[in-house]
Amino acid sequence: MKALVLNQETYSLSVKDVDLPLLSPTQVRIKIKAASINHHELWTLQEKNLKSNSDIILGSDGSGVIEKVGSSVKNLKTGDEVVINPSINWGADNKVHGQNYEILGFPSQGTFAEYICIDHTYVGLKPGHLSFEESAALPLAGLTGYRALFSRGQFESNNKVLITGIGGGVALFALKFAVASGADVYITSGDATKISKAIHLGAKGGVIYRDKNWSSELREMAGGFDVIVDGAAGRDFARLTELANPGGRIALFGRTAGQITDLNPKTIFWKQLSIHGTTMGNKDEFESMLKLVTTEKIKPVIDSVYPAKDINLAFKKMESADQFGKIIMNMKQF
């Protein structure tokens, strides 16, 4: 089969013929129709610290059609249209992943290939209202956004929500999930056009975080927030604690702006704030996320679709932070 294999010297991806993965009794073999890219893989390419004696096939997100099922698999069949859960070996405690946890793509073979064999417990039926491209956008970003908003952010129906850095996949899913749940949602972005697009998707308003007084503008616009979903961290994280209502929850899932500095402990303890780190999610959350998407007919925001052979161009676009929504790879076009 063809796969996009990591060159461990240049840290770019190139098309290569590799062996078809072997199927175990508990696995299904999926013909990948579409995959999407994430900062999770981009950081791997940038940090250049991934090494293996065998081919490394990255990719956490994917959707496709089951081509073959293992002898022990009873809940899935050949021809099923499916989406892959990339949250592997979460463990017994739903509150936190265990020591053997991994995100699909390394050391397990990822989705940047024509086929993948994966245990049936990490496979869900594709929501019927979504295309393969839309379904491929769901797994990592949708799961992360769902857990950040509902499990870690402890969202309730009357809560006011702030989502920072709108335009990325997780932030947009958190927006869509919160709007579908009846929340008043506000956003930040570095680009006025992205704010306009987010308002079209249901946000009540937003501010440009590059402006010096962005937090004051947001306070005047919306007041305080019960739930804040942030993927940036950085020096402006302290302003989020100031914008949080008493008893507010901040769910932090990323680090695109770097280290957190200048936090005022008094703000945190006097307002009884909860700051929750969050990464991916467990199996129950993945299934609940798919149910919400299906019930509310939620559609992911797609920025662009690239043929598989142009994956390095796709990552360059992600690195530029120009995208609004998920960047999808058509895995039928090697």
pLDDT in tens, 125-152: 999 999 999 999 999 999 999 999 999 9
Are 2-138+300-330 and 142-277 in the same CATH fold?
yes
Q: Which amino acid appears at position 253 of this protein? A: F
**229 - beta bridge partners?**
163, 251
pLDDT at 334 over 90: no
Residue 167 clears pLDDT 90, i.e. is over it: yes
pLDDT exceeds 90 at position 321: no
**Angstrom distance (rounded) from CA 188 to CA 152:** 20
pLDDT in tens, 21-34: 999 999 999 999 99
Nearest CA among 83, 39, 80, 42 for reference residue 62:
83
Cis link prior to 107 (omega < 30° from 0)? yes
Over the chain, what is the mean pLDDT?
97
Mean pLDDT of the 296-321 span = 96
Q: What token pair was written down for 186? A: 């506000």
Predicted local confidence at residue 126, as pLDDT: 98
Per-residue confidence at 42, pLDDT binned at 50, 70, 90?
very high
Token pair recorded at residue 248: 């507010």
Q: How large is the average pLDDT for residues 116-127?
A: 98
* Residue 215 confidence (pLDDT): 97
Residue 104: partners with Cβ closer than 8 Å, 6 or more residues away: 59, 60, 84, 86, 87, 88, 110, 111, 118, 122
223-280 residue pLDDT tens: 999 999 999 999 999 999 999 999 999 999 998 899 999 999 999 999 999 999 999 9
Domain 142-277 in this protein, CATH class: alpha beta
Q: How many CA atoms lie within 13 A of 188 on its CB side?
A: 26
pTM over 0.75: yes
| Contact yes or no for 212/235 (Cβ under 8 A) | no
CA quadruple 91, 29, 142, 152: dihedral, nearest 10: 0
Compute the distance between CA of residue 148 and CA of residue 171 in angstroms, rounded to an integer.
10
For 235, which DSSP code?
T
Regarding predicted confidence, which is higher, 301 or 334? 301
**Percent of the chain residues topping a pLDDT of 70:** 100
* The predicted structure's pLDDT at residue 327: 97
- pLDDT tens digits for range 44-84: 999 998 999 999 999 999 999 999 999 999 999 999 999 99
DSSP label at residue 22: P
Domain residue extents for the chain: 2-138+300-330, 142-277
Residue 225 to residue 249: CA distance in whole angstroms: 9
Q: What is the mean pLDDT of residues 107-115?
A: 97
In this prediction, residue 333 has a pLDDT band, given cuts at 50, 70 and 90, of: confident
pLDDT at 256: 86
C-alpha 96: how far from chain center:
17
pLDDT of 85 above 90: yes
Superfamily name with CATH number, domain 2-138+300-330: Medium-chain alcohol dehydrogenases, catalytic domain (3.90.180.10)
Phi-psi domain of 300 (left: phi exceeds 0; alpha: psi -120 through 50; beta: other): beta
